[in-house]
Structure formats: structure tokens, C-alpha cells
Amino acid sequence: MPYGFYGKVLEIDLANRKTNVIEITEEDVKKHFLGSGLAAKFLYNDHDNSIEALDPRNPLLFFSGLFTGSIIPGTSKLCVCSRSPLTGIWNEATVGGDWPAEFRRTGYDGIIFRGKSENKVMVHITKDSVEFKDAGYLWGKNTYEVEQIMRPELDRRTKIAAIGQAGENLSPIASIIFDAPISRVAARSGIGAVMGSKNLKAVIVTGDLKTKVAIADLKGLREQLTKIDTPEIRKNTAGLTAFGTSGGVEAVEMYGDLPIKNWQLGAWKEGAKKICSQTMQPMMLDKHYACFGCPIRCGKIYKLEKKGLYGHGPEYETAGTLGALCLNDDPELLVEGNEWCNRYGFDTVSAGNCIGFAIEAFEKGVITEKDTGGLKLDWNGESMLALVHKIGKNEDIGKLIGQGVRKAAEILGNNASEFAVHTKGLEYPAHDPRGHVSMALNYATAVRGACHLEGLTYFLDRGVPAPDFGYTQAPDPHRSDDKPSIVYNLQNYLGCFNPLGMCKFLFLGQVGPKKVAEWLNLYCGWDFDMDQVMKTGERLFNLKRMYNVKLGISRKDDVLPPRLYAEAKPDGSAAGVLPDLGNMLNHYYKLRNWSTDGIPTEKKLRELELA
């Protein structure tokens, strides 16, 4: 019996309602871990990735991380992977909460959904069965309604992952909502639309408490965690425990990192103060929330009785996009917008960018009241919330911007692409690469497009140490020449997190690759060191890059949108700063041993055992 994993992936043919079990080997797991790492191996080697995202032949993969559901803190994550309908390239949408740990107790390491069901369907997975159930009566219901309708007939431990109307409508920014109304979300790049394209409304899991992976040295691992690691993580993440990610809004604004008025402005001090957790929690906090087995407890559940709202409060990215990016400084409207995104089932980050884009287009006369159904758009929370509903209902302007800013700009023309902020089709999260120029390089080269989570280099700029790499002093956030090596190292390291099921906040907890190697050895009985952890991360980053290369991605796509490379911020602490992306890319490609066109070389692929 292997340690740390079951060796079984459940394959579900939705068209024929058949199942199969694929066996995975320890060699595969050592090379790819699980999560998005092993998913990338399946999608790159065993699938024709020229198949379009919404084609029934495009598989949808739910893969738990190697540590998911274990006693290791902050390891609640699962990745949902597929070709993206928004970007057309690689996508991994990561989710925490309780669903991934419950799934792990079914005795599988992952699920591959193939084909398209003839009728609307949901699938219930247990240790001993896979049941296909009619979901026609749930079609058209939002994700909260799905939970409310189904919960009375389910075991308390049973967990639901569902799409809302956005996924049903095949919106390219649709998400999958897990554990509503707590609402942990596989959010980005339209993964919910892939699920909708298969007529799959929900995936339900009921685990067996007796079903657990074998751990090589359970006693040693428990002792290490109890005495040293968990207390240290708690100490280093106390701010997240108290206020969650939205507690950082004011600090981010101070660094010139907040996206303001569709990325046009550099300062918004009073607005940032109004939508940070420190202001919102006394008004609306119901309780703190932790994903499975996590000591950080960064989740905040908000309750707004007068509007009938109850669910997970806005994360920082949501405050940045549905808030600052739209000049919405109303905390109640921010919470309401966030909840409706979760109910309809679409990504708040993409939504905020799409809405900011629409308001600017209206301001410039590119769209008019004729396009908006008579709605006058302005920079405020009312317009933001109205557009959230239009996206969710797939009506007039909502149908257009719900396709993402790249497609919307192409349709509108009239230089709309000049203020459509995306890379490779993915809208930007709420971190401005003019405030932290390392993020310019990370955004340009990140595998799924504009993804901050593949690098998190701005943490270093704010003084978070990474001593395993020799980073003990904060670098200058506006200097470009030292950033390629930082991005290279952190992308390789963070490339292990999703495959291991680790929350990225463990990086804030100062968990480095040496610690990860210790955990792997106690958990799996291996003999890893820091170099092997880093090599695995580099292998997986290159594997996903090669998936994209098959789809035509190269240096021509490793770019910033015009607003972020040509327009400096007019005010704030990052005023006048523009990243030197061209020189950073040249140095970065050399570090990666890629060609000048951004293609991994044969030598590098052989070194990483990918060729």
C-alpha cells in the first residue's frame, strides 16, 4: 500500500453513465504530486488538447492535493482543471473548505468527468457507489437554492459543489460554488461553464470516516506539527485570523497596489478605509470560519439581515475589484455584490474587471443606454450591483461583458482594448504590477494568464521573509533588474502548492520548501530535500507551459495590457512607475532555459524528465 495517496482516480462517462477506475503509481505521484500536477500530466499526455473548452470531449478534472484532508495545517485544497473557455488555455481553479477533505474520504485521489449527459444530471459519489440523479428540477436555481433544496435529504457530512445560472448559461467567467452559503469557490477562468457544458449541475460527496490514506510516520508527523509547525503558522498569520484577507485593503492602497477606477488611479485612501475588514466586521461579522483542519481561520461569515444576506464575506480580491476598481466604497453594496456573484456562480475578480470596463465604456460613449437596457452607468456601488445582476441573468450588457473583457473589447471595437485589462484573456486580480513590478513578470508568464497566486512576489516586497531562498530583506518594489530570479524561484516553489493541496497562506506562515520536504518524508516515507521540491515545482510549471505551447502560446502572449505598461499611475506611492517587462523577460527566459520565444528547450525538458 502506498503512503499518502490511494492510487485511484475515478473516471465518469456522463454520456453513457459508466464509471472506471484508473490506477496511478507512486512514480507518477513522486513526479507530479496530485492536484493540478497530476491533472496536467493527464491533460498533456493523454488528451487531445486541441479540443475546444466547451466540446463534450473536453474532460473536467477534480483532483485533490497530496496532503488534502490530512493533519498537516492549511491543506484543504482541491483543483478543478480543464481547458478554459475564457482564455482557451490551461486552467486550474483551486478551492478549499470542507468538500475536498470529504471527497478524500471516498477513497479516490481524483475524478475525471468525460462526455456530456443527455439530461440535466448530478452525481453523488461515496466510497462504494457512484449515483447519477436527475437535476432537471434544480436547473435554473442559484447555488444557495440548490443547497437549501437538497440539504434536508442529505447526510450532515455530505458536501455539494454546484453551478448557478452562470454555469448553465456557459458564461466564460462562471465558477463552481462549494459548500454554499459558506461558499468556497473554484472561481477563475470559466471552470463552471465547462461543468455546465456537460449538463452537470452538481457533484455531491459523502465520505467514510474510516477511509484514510496511510501515513508513513503518523506519530512523528503529529509531534512535529504539534510542537513546532502549527504554533509557528498561527503566530505568523495572526492578522489573517483576526481580519481575513480584506484586512489588508488599506495597506495595499498604501503600496500603490490597489486597482482604482478600472486601473486609472493610484490613491483612494478614504475609500479603502470604508471597505476593509476593520470597518466592515463590526457592522456585519457573524462568525469566523476555517477550512478543514486549518489553524488560520481567515474566513469571515457576514450577516446583513435587512437585505436577507448571509454567507462568506468579501475576500481582498473582491474588495479590490467589486470595490475599488468600480469606485464602490459602500460596504453593504460590496457584500451584496459578492453574495450575488456566489449565488449566480461567477468569479468576482473577472466580474469586477468586466464591470469597471463597462462603466468606462459607458463614460467614453462606446456603449449607451440602448446597450444597458436603459441603465445609466456610473462609478459607484449601485451600478456595480446592477451589472452583477445583468451578468447573472445573461441579459443585454451583462451577456456581453459576461464573456470577459477581451471578447467584449473585440466585439465593441472603438479602441475598447485600450482599457480592457487582461493577460491571455484572464482579467487581473487586485494587485497592480506598477505597485510591485515583480508582478508584471509573474502576470506575463503565469500559466493560466493574469494569476497572482502563481508568484505572490509582492509578499516579499512587504517584508515577508523567505529564508530558504535567502530573501530576508524586502526588495525595492519598483526596481526591475532583480526581479527575474525572484519570480523564477517563487513560481517554482508555489507550483507545488496546488498539487500538494496547500493553501498559499502557508507562504505567509513562513513555510518554505525545506519544511515541505520534511512533511513529504514523514507523510509519504520519501527522501525528499529542498532541491527535489523545487525541481518538482519547476517540472510542473514547464509541463503546464508546454500544454499552452501546444495551443500556440509563446513570447507574443507574455505581455501586459496597454493600461499597465504604458500608463503610469498619476498619484499614490507608485506614481510614475512602469515595469521594464522586456528586459525582465529576457533574463527570466534564460533562467528557465527557454528559447527567446518563451518555449522550453529540449535540454530543459529532458532535465525535468518531460521528454
C-alpha 383/C-alpha 401 separation (Å) is 14
Asked if residue 76 has pLDDT above 70, the reply is: yes
pLDDT of the residue at 1:
67
The larger pLDDT score, comparing residue 45 to residue 220, is at 220
End-to-end Cα spacing for the chain: 29
Asked if residue 603 has pLDDT above 80, the reply is: yes
The fold for domain 246-425 equals 1.10.569
- Mean of pLDDT values over 212-238: 97
Q: How many helices (H) and strands (E) does the chain have?
A: 29, 17
- Mean of pLDDT values over 358-366: 98
pLDDT of the residue at 501:
98
Instruction: Check if the beta carbon of residue 401 is closer than 8 Å to that of residue 358.
Output: yes
pLDDT of the residue at 313:
97
**From the centroid of its chain, how far is CA 450?**
11
- Mean of pLDDT values over 253-281: 98
Cross-strand pairs, 177 = 162, 185
C-alpha 513/C-alpha 526 separation (Å) is 15
pLDDT of the residue at 47:
82
pLDDT tens digits for range 137-171: 999 999 999 999 999 999 999 999 999 999 999 99
C-alpha 112/C-alpha 58 separation (Å) is 10
Which triple of cell numbers denotes residue 364?
A: 467614453
Cross-strand pairs, 202 = 122, 162
Residue spans in the chain of domains classed CATH 3.60.9.10? 8-205
Name the one residue in this structure whose C-alpha cell is 476598481: 325
Phi-psi region of 179 (alpha: psi -120 to 50; beta: other; left: phi over 0): left
pLDDT band per the 50, 70, 90 thresholds, residue 48:
confident
Question: Does the predicted TM-score (pTM) go above 0.85?
Answer: yes
Asked if residue 364 has pLDDT above 80, the reply is: yes
Amino acid identity, residue 594? W
Cross-strand pairs, 176 = 186
Q: Worst-scoring range by mean pLDDT, 40-49, 77-86, 412-421, 449-458?
A: 40-49
Choose the CATH number for 8-205 among 1.20.1250.20, 3.10.20.30, 3.60.9.10, 3.20.20.60.
3.60.9.10
Instruction: Check if the beta carbon of residue 92 is closer than 8 Å to that of residue 39.
Output: yes
pLDDT of the residue at 419:
98
C-alpha 118/C-alpha 385 separation (Å) is 35
pLDDT band per the 50, 70, 90 thresholds, residue 109:
very high
- Looking from the CA of 486 toward its CB, the CA atoms found within 13 Å total 30
Asked if residue 563 has pLDDT above 80, the reply is: yes
Which triple of cell numbers denotes residue 124?
A: 453523488
The fold for domain 434-559+580-607 equals 1.10.599
Asked if residue 206 has pLDDT above 70, the reply is: yes
